[in-house]
Amino acid sequence: MLLIAFLGGVLTLLSPCILPVVPFLFARADRSRGSVLLTLVGMALTFALVSSLAVAGGSWVAQANGVGRQLALAVLGLFALSLISARLGHWLARPWVSLGNRLGRVRAFSGSSAALLLGVATGLLWAPCAGPILGLILTGAMLQGVNAQTSLLLLAYGLGSALSLGGLILAGRGLVNRLKPSLPAIAGLRRAVGCVALLATVAIGSGLDSRLLASTSSQGAAALEQGVLRAVPKALDYLVDKAGAASVETLPSKGPMPSLNGAVQWLNSPPLDAQALRGKVVLVDFWTYDCINCQHSLPYVNAWAKKYAGDGLVVIGVHTPEYAFEKVIDNVKAQVRKLDIGYPVAIDNDYAIWRAFDNQYWPAHYFIDARGQVRYSHFGEGGYAAQEQVIQQLLEEAKAK
């Protein structure tokens, strides 16, 4: 599993979610290999630590993560400005140089500290798309709690990402080396990278990056991750049991709908159960608001809820958080209003409904017939035409009885 996690991290480079942090890492292309390595290690370690703490839960984790992100934005903003203005860069470096002089290791201390700090700041802001591999790691962690194995898997994922990003930085170094004979070109490139990094900082701080990434798709990277999982026999056996979906034509019963009990709060509806849903066709959608894949699938789910409500379809959104800040109920309420979600939403902060369904993915759709039997499931993006066909088929069955 460590190898799978590492390969999943390597494939992160193909995901659009990596784009916001690329400018900061590309700016290290002109640094020594040791400096670049420290930045990447700092990013991987911070990602593993923050993700592990997020699994632990608790409001203090969400608050600490929020403060950490603000500090990271400030650090990266100053870093970007130092690239644009050499004078500002020298001024910001003075305290490090002074401290380094006292310790007798000027260059080593200032360079290493700056590189590591940049990596930590980047790790605090980086929230990779939860593809099949990362989703498997995080959901396992949520169910089992924080432990050494989970942290190692997250670290392996982060190191895999660091390796692929290191290759990107080396490519940037090749460009810098070609431009070295022309000092004005180097200075211009430095300022350009600084401007891009500053824009990235503003975009992350304002949430613009999430809105822009919502228009992209990570289906290609997810398909590659599925390939990695299938290449490992144990993972294949696991996924066959957990993720196998029936054909649309047959739709055999997979057993009664699991319990919806355990939500910490319901939005747009009182708590629902099997009794309240008797005679209705139900679509249960596991989602979380900062998941790019969920942002891609939600418009379809919302459209189905509105289109088929009069025919007897009930859509239930189960908001199961991936990161600590997604556990803040006010944040979820704001996103529900923003996304114009009018169907019932169960806030599953304790993962009670997630466990009941034995779910593993964001997004995950479970289709239940009017008799309360699970008849079909779909994981991830895509397959929207087939899923709508399932809705229509189950509604026709309900009318015939």
What tens digit of pLDDT does each residue of 344-359 get? 999 999 889 998 998 8
Mean pLDDT of 26-44: 73
Q: Which residues of 340-376 are buried (b: 16+ CB within 10 A; e: fewer)?
A: ebebbbbbbbebbbbbbbebbbbbbbbbbbbbbbbbb
For position 245, what pLDDT does the model report? 44
* pLDDT for the residue 163: 79
Structure token pair of residue 114: 């700056």
In the chain, what is the straight-line distance between the N-terminal and C-terminal CA atoms, in Å? 47
Residue 287 burial by Cβ neighbours in a 10 Å radius (0-12, 13-18, 19+):
buried
Considering only 16-25, 278-287, 315-324, 390-399, which range has the smallest mean pLDDT?
A: 16-25
Concatenate the DSSP letters of all residues of 99-119 into one string.
HHHHHT-HHHHHHHHHHHHHH
Q: For 192-250, what is each residue's pLDDT tens digit? A: 766 776 777 777 677 666 666 565 666 666 666 666 655 654 444 444 344 444 455 67
| Model confidence pLDDT, tens digit, residues 258-307 | 999 999 999 999 999 888 898 899 999 999 998 888 888 999 999 999 99
380 pLDDT band (50/70/90 cuts)? confident
| Per-residue confidence (pLDDT) for residue 246, from 0 to 100 | 45
Q: At 292, which helix (H) or strand (E)?
A: helix 292-308
pLDDT score of 256: 92
Give this prediction's pTM: 0.52
- DSSP codes of every residue in 336-382: HHHTT--S-EEE-TT-HHHHHHT---SSEEEEE-TTSBEEEEEESS-
List the chain domain ranges: 2-224, 248-400
> Measuring CA to CA, which residue among 115, 82, 384 is closest to residue 248?
384
Average pLDDT score, the chain? 74
The pLDDT assigned to 1 comes to 62
Residues 6+ apart with CB under 8 A from 350: 262, 264
For 288, the 3-state DSSP assignment is coil
CA–chain centroid gap for 389, Å, is: 29
> Which residue has better confidence, 58 or 382?
382
Peptide bond into 363 cis (omega under 30): yes
Across 36-54, average pLDDT: 76
pLDDT at 62: 55
**Domain 248-400 bears CATH identifier 3.40.30.10:** yes
| H or E element at residue 143 | helix 132-144
Per DSSP, helices labelled H in 145-259 are: 148-179, 183-206, 208-213, 219-231, 233-243
What pLDDT does 317 receive? 96
Task: Provide CB contacts within 8 A for 270, sequence distance 6+.
Answer: none
Q: What are phi and psi of 316, to 5 degrees?
A: -125, 115
pLDDT above 70 (res 188): no
pLDDT at 367 over 70: yes
Provide the pLDDT for residue 337. 94
Per-residue pLDDT reduced to its tens digit, 56-94: 555 555 555 566 667 767 766 766 676 666 665 556 555
- Least confident among 114-118, 165-169, 219-223: 219-223
From edge to edge, which strands make up the β-sheet containing 265-267? 265-267, 345-347, 313-319, 281-287, 364-368, 374-379
Determine phi and psi for 31, rounding to 5 degrees.
-90, 170
